[in-house]
């Protein structure tokens, strides 16, 4: 029932306008011909789960059929996908509802006997209740509100839960492709610059097959291992835990025992059972499972777990340039991209989970020009990029320290000897504001400097980035503006306000020009204090 290979169960908005309902093979055909604009039922935090599923499934199907290029015909995609489940001529692994619990259903593992149905005690009424989002007393995101859910709402929720979820209480274990139960499975990889879902899928599909030997060589997997884990019986026992060396490189995992059913009115519901241990025994690997989208922390010997705050410019700089991080294979250019001058983009996504709560969904896109992309493929290029970025980060930190000191002095009534911890706390939000302004254009500005060839030109670009009186959009310019706004906003006794302002502004201008500030900047540009 509800066969995603043959029934039009997935809704998408078409690039030329209008909405279509399609089967999974028809979705692939539409993606390959750039006819998909968006999936209206797909929630933001589900984007990577759906994209990764489409790419991994297509890569396994295409490799099995030994096709040089992905097909553009829905019938051919139907044949390819069915080729992954030849033991199920009735398409059970592709049906959302299969009443016989001893047979697989889509993203739903079979039990070994019918009496195991009694273990499925927890009922799920809506797809958002099934989803991976962790809600705390409904404060983060209201739970179980999708009472009028469509079939594709359940489809996306199933894929997201089974391929992205972490630990969620006793008997509810997380996926192997994350570091620990409170980790996350981020996406950090190149993508075409054009906002095209089809081009994005085609690019990752091509690159994934190109770099498959590298994944096999570096991670404990096997060439002809298990691919679709929901096809394998699972009753949640410790003896059934799969070792990584039984898995294929692009395997699509599941982490929960769940089955969908149909009510009398045709609406869907879910039932869940717990398990004694995780489906894959990979705790010692700390998430290092060859995920082509996830960076690996070499120093900590673990996959990236993005923290609250998201993909800040400092973190992204580390992931891109630090020797402590191994970039995922899909951060590399594929064969055609190595000789292309086309601008691409870094697309980063992650849902951050905390202890019993959701700490935010983060998504960031950064245009990556040819020289930047080429440099990332070479050790010397990465080092040069890293040095430029770290120098800029150091200068930002210097300006922030000076700005913080000036704000603290104002808050202390203009008396630097009277600065207290509460004054430091008052300065913190203003420093964050400066960081946000810089963050928005950090990598555009960095690439402008990196693309310049002559050292003198680079220095001029750096100076304008730091101080630009004409447009007042340099780091120091923004710091001055923020200091002025902080002075206008922060409490200070009226009798001390004039003195506090003069002392704070004088301190900022004096320190920024001092030997510990940015003296060379002012020497070069001949700036005068007004």
pLDDT of amino acid 147: 52
**Which tens digit of pLDDT belongs to each residue from 216-268?**
999 989 999 999 999 999 999 999 999 999 999 999 999 999 999 999 999 99
CB-based contacts of 505, cutoff 8 Å, min separation 6? 406, 483, 487
Intervals of the chain under pLDDT 70: 133-148, 356, 523-530
What is the reported pLDDT for 177? 96
Q: What is the distance between the alpha carbons of residues 373 and 290, in angstroms, rounded to a whole number? A: 22
- What is the pLDDT, as a whole number, of residue 140? 43
Tokens of 223: 């060439």
Which long-range contacts (C-beta less than 8 Å, at least 24 apart) are formed by 498-504? 499/413, 499/414, 500/409, 500/410, 500/411, 500/412, 500/413, 500/414, 501/410, 501/414, 502/414, 503/409, 503/410, 503/414, 503/415, 503/416, 504/406, 504/407, 504/409, 504/410, 504/414
pLDDT tens for each residue of 83-104? 999 999 999 999 999 999 999 9
């Amino acid at each position: 029932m509800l066969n995603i290979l043959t029934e039009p169960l997935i809704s998408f908005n078409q690039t030329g306008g209008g909405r279509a309902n399609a089967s999974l093979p028809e979705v692939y055909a539409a993606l390959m011909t750039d006819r998909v604009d968006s999936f209206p039922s797909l929630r933001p935090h589900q984007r990577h789960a759906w994209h990764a599923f489409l790419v991994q499934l297509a890569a396994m199907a295409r490799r099995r059929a030994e096709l040089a290029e992905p097909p553009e015909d829905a019938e051919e995609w139907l044949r390819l996908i069915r080729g992954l489940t030849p033991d199920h001529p009735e398409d059970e692994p592709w049906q959302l509802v299969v009443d016989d619990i001893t047979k697989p259903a889509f993203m739903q593992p079979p039990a070994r006997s019918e009496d195991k149905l009694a273990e499925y005690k927890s009922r799920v009424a809506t797809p958002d209740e099934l989803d991976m989002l962790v809600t705390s007393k409904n404060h983060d995101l209201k739970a179980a509100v999708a009472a009028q859910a469509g079939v594709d709402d359940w489809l996306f929720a199933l894929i997201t839960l089974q391929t992205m979820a972490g630990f969620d209480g006793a008997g509810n274990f997380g996926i192997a492709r994350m570091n620990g139960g409170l980790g996350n499975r981020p996406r950090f990889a190149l993508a075409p610059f054009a906002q095209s879902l089809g081009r994005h899928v085609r690019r990752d599909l091509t690159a994934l097959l190109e770099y498959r030997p590298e994944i096999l060589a570096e991670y404990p997997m096997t060439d002809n291992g298990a691919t679709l884990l929901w096809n394998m019986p699972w009753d949640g026992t410790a003896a059934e835990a799969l070792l990584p060396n039984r898995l294929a490189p692009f395997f699509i995992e599941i982490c929960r025992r769940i089955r969908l059913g149909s009510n009398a009115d045709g609406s869907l519901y879910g039932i869940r059972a717990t398990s004694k241990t995780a489906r894959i025994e990979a705790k010692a690997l700390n998430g290092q499972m060859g995920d082509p989208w996830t960076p690996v922390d070499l120093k900590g010997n673990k996959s990236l777990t993005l923290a609250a705050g998201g993909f800040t410019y400092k973190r992204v700089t580390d992931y891109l340039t630090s020797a402590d991080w191994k970039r995922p294979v899909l951060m590399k250019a594929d064969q055609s991209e190595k000789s292309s001058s086309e601008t691409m983009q870094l697309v980063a996504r992650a849902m951050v989970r905390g202890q019993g709560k959701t700490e935010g969904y983060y998504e960031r896109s950064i245009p990556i020009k040819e020289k930047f992309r080429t440099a990332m493929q070479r050790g010397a290029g990465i080092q040069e990029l890293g040095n430029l970025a770290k120098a800029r980060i150091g200068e930002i930190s210097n300006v922030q320290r000076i700005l913080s000191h000036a704000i603290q002095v104002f808050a202390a009534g203009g008396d630097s000897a009277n600065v207290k911890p509460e004054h430091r706390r008052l300065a913190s939000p203003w420093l964050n504001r400066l960081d946000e302004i810089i963050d928005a254009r950090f990598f555009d500005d960095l690439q402008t400097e990196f693309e310049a060839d002559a050292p003198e030109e680079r220095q001029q670009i750096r100076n304008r980035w730091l101080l630009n009186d004409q447009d007042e959009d340099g780091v120091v310019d923004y710091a001055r503006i923020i200091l002025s706004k902080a002075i206008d906003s922060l409490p200070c006794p009226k009798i001390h306000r004039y003195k506090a302002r003069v002392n704070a502004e004088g301190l900022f201008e004096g320190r920024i020009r001092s030997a510990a500030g940015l003296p060379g900047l002012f020497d070069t540009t001949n700036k005068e204090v007004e």
